[in-house]
Structure 1
Amino acid sequence: MNTSPEPGGMIHADHPFAAPAGSRDPARQLRGRLVAPVTVWTSGTAGLTVSSLVVAAGEPASVCALLDPDSDLAEALGDDGRAVVNVLRWRHRTVADVFAGLHPSPGGVFRTGEWVDGPVGPVLADAAGVALVTVVDRRRVGWNDLVTATVDEVTTSDDTGDLLAYARGRYRTVGEAAGG
């Protein structure tokens, strides 16, 4: 045990809130080993960081995402609402934390980052990609709402070098997550 008074001194090596090894949820352990994209969904004045999502190609293309059913975003969307899906970059880590409720943003969540008005909700001005979507289905799956939305419009940036990913409880760039 290191009890050094120096900054960054370690009291113990284990996470103080981690469940003992034998009682950890195997599904959460599996999820923690998956690399996830980091997005912020917005609708009206609500927003939420979402990393459990997949884009399904087709006519029309669809996005399926797991949302917190108690979030302001879930309430704003209802069963057939529209949303903006903002794909984040490395420099948007604080934006992701603010919309996840992990970091304060005096004056409201949209005071962190540079936002512009969009047709259905705020758009992050320097997002790596933006999709306007319309919810077509919503159902409870586990502790989440599985939301399926059709993709109405997409804009992307040519610069994809610093896409934000989440793996093993930390933000990473896509290159880092891939081992690069």
Structure 2
Amino acid sequence: MTIHSSHPFLPPQEERDPLRRLRGRMPAPVTIWASGSGSRRDGWTISSMLVADGDPGELIALVNEDADWWDLFRETGSATVNVLGAGQSYLSEVFARVAPSPGGPFRTGEWTDAEHGPRVAGASAWVGVRLVDADPEHSGWGLLVRARIESIDLADVAPLRHQGGQYS
């Protein structure tokens, strides 16, 4: 076994996609959008999103249309957007389906059911949203999803962010 000082599968600098490199230079929020309740709930990590000010305000996100959560969000029409807090990077990986969580993703973290969907303890904020259009257009490889903000609950916790492949 060899210990590498860099990522062993990272392509050389000249072969890397400039679009992905541009995206990596921009700080991104780390959120888990969660829908449903009880034994019928699901969620997905989303960082490609922004807040659109207005009356009402909206969250706009790029969503993987193959995510199981997307079907549940379309069906229920509501979600809780959990803005993760410092120290919750592993939870982000679990809901992105790149880290294990025996028994399912909701076994990681402390979750409670709320009006719009599951809420995780320790988040920086929780936003209750309602889906604007169940058949959104594509933007790049994702769906351009608009969700109307119906409630906001802020905590005194520093938000988690992702930039350049690292959490901070």
TM over 0.5: yes
- Map residues 130-145 of structure 1 onto 2, 5 A cutoff: 130-137=126-133, 138-145=136-143
Change (3 A) 1:24 1:74: same
Equivalent-residue separation in structure 2 for 1:32 and 1:167 (angstroms): 6
Which runs of 5 or more residues in structure 1 are unaligned? 173-180
CA distance in 2, matches of 1:73, 1:146: 15
Which residue of 31, 52, 69 maps to 1:39? 31
Number of equivalenced pairs: 162
Q: What CA deviation, in whole Å up to 9, does each residue of 1:111-150 have, x standing for no partner?
A: 1111011123211122211111011132211111110111
Provide TM-score, normalisation by structure 2. Answer: 0.89
Larger radius of gyration: 1
2:99 is matched with which residue: 93, 99, 103?
103
Structure 2 unaligned residues grouped into runs of 5+: none
The 5 Å alignment of 1:67-86 reads 67-78=63-74, 81-86=77-82
SS at match of 2:89: helix
Whether the 8 Å CA contact 1:79–1:136 is kept in 2: the answer is no
Q: Does 1:171 align with 2:163?
A: no
Q: Does 1:23 align with 2:15?
A: yes
Using the TM superposition, give the Cα deviation of residue 92 of structure 1 relative to its aligned residue in structure 2, in angstroms. Answer: 1.2
Deviation at 1:86, TM superposition (A): 0.4
Q: What is aligned with 1:150?
A: 148
Report the alpha carbon displacement of residue 14 of structure 1 after superposing the two structures with TM.
Answer: 4.3
Q: Which moved more, 1:134-143 or 1:105-114?
A: 134-143
Is 1:65 aligned to residue 61 of structure 2? Answer: yes
**TM-score normalized with structure 1 length:** 0.83
Q: Which has the higher contact order (CA 8 A, sep 6+)?
A: 2
Amino acid at match of 1:104: P
Superposed CA RMSD in Å reads: 1.8
Superposed displacement of residue 75, structure 1 = 1.4
- Aligned partners of 1:103, 1:135: CA distance in 2, in Å? 28
Q: Please tell me whether residue 117 in structure 1 is matched to residue 134 in structure 2.
A: no
Between the aligned residues of both structures, percent identity stands at: 42
